[in-house]
Amino acid sequence: MSLNFISQHILVASFVGLFISASSLAQAEDWAQVRIPVACIRDGKGHATEMTSQAIMGTPLQVLDKDGEWLHIKSPEGYEGYMNVSSVANKTTDEMADWRKTRRFVANSLPEIKVYSSMTERGYDNIVTELVYSSIVEGNLVNDSIVSVTLPDGRTGYADAASFITAEEWASHPFDMDTAMNVAHWMLGTPYLWGACSTKSVDCSGLVRVAYLGQGVLTQRDARQQIEIGKHIEPSDLTSLQRGDLLFFSNTPDGRISHVAIYDGDNRYIHSSGLVKINSMTPDDPDYSKRFYRGASRIIGMEGTPGIIKMINHPWYF
């Protein structure tokens, strides 16, 4: 076989690769936004497939592929999976660009917010939807106590203005660790659900996501990813731990990381295991939980480093 023949085939293969890459980029220009309070992300096309994560109302998603009732999506932190079309409103690139310029509000209430079809009537038959903590909607202040909201699918309604902050304030204000820990504590007793990450239910890394996202910081989704971000703290260095640090555990001394918790001070941590609860790192404490501690990561002060995004800097939102 001549070198010329080989060179021609390499050139053809390069063009094919470029075409596939360009095609992938074109597909990524399709967008969607979550239109229900909490939407499931699954590892396959089907309601019976495993739920691996969730996304809440208003979350922008890149649509990588469409197949009937199922979308192959990428979430804002880069997590991929499948979502049913009934959970989203389809958006064009231009529509998403317009959304980034609109006035938006973020749910800042830990109890779920009800959106009503009437500004004055609050009956059961006037409910449009509910919003969980950190949901994003378009909106305008009607007066000091009422905000009119527009959901991603165009539905409209009214809600209490005190339950929201502006998207800009949410995305850019200084991180308040006390508030983040208050969120985690408010969720005590919330049931564990694999793949869940909203105030309705959480898995272990989902609790981290809920507490940190409320402060305008987006982290990686899973414990095995979260241990790779932030400032690492060696397992022997317990005296350096600060409230809000992420603690990582495995089931065996050298096993894979299988659990994450949030340090609460005084050798105690809050985590989701069966339900959201508090346990101790001290072996003779009655609340000791027998897991193998494998070190910690500090997220605060590390915004802008790989895997930790301050939301004001996320191009999908602003």
pLDDT tens for the chain, residues 1 to 318: 433 333 333 333 332 333 333 334 334 469 999 999 999 999 999 999 999 999 999 999 999 999 999 999 999 999 999 999 999 999 999 999 999 999 999 999 999 999 999 999 999 999 999 999 999 999 999 999 999 999 999 999 999 999 999 999 999 999 999 999 999 999 999 999 999 999 999 999 999 999 999 999 999 999 999 999 999 999 999 999 999 999 999 999 999 999 999 999 999 999 999 999 999 999 999 999 989 999 999 999 999 999 999 999 999 999
pLDDT given at position 15? 28
CA angle 175, 221, 65 (to 5 degrees): 125
Nearest by Cα to 225 from 82, 81, 83, 77: 77
pLDDT given at position 235? 96
- CB environment 282-307: b (16+ within 10 A), e (fewer): eeeeeeebebbbbbbbbbbebbeeeb
Contact status, residue 199 vs residue 210, Cβ threshold 8 Å: yes
Is residue 218 helix, strand or coil?
strand
How far from 209 is each of 132, 180, 218, 309, CA to CA, in Å? 13, 10, 7, 12
Question: Distance (Å, rounded) from C-alpha 281 to C-alpha 290?
Answer: 9
Enter the tokens of residue 6. 């080989």
Instruction: Tell me the pTM.
Output: 0.89
Question: Distance (Å, rounded) from C-alpha 132 to C-alpha 112?
Answer: 5
Residue 302 CA neighbour count, 13 Å, CB half? 20
pLDDT given at position 207? 98
pLDDT given at position 316? 98
| Other residues' Cβ atoms within 10 Å of the Cβ of residue 18 | 10
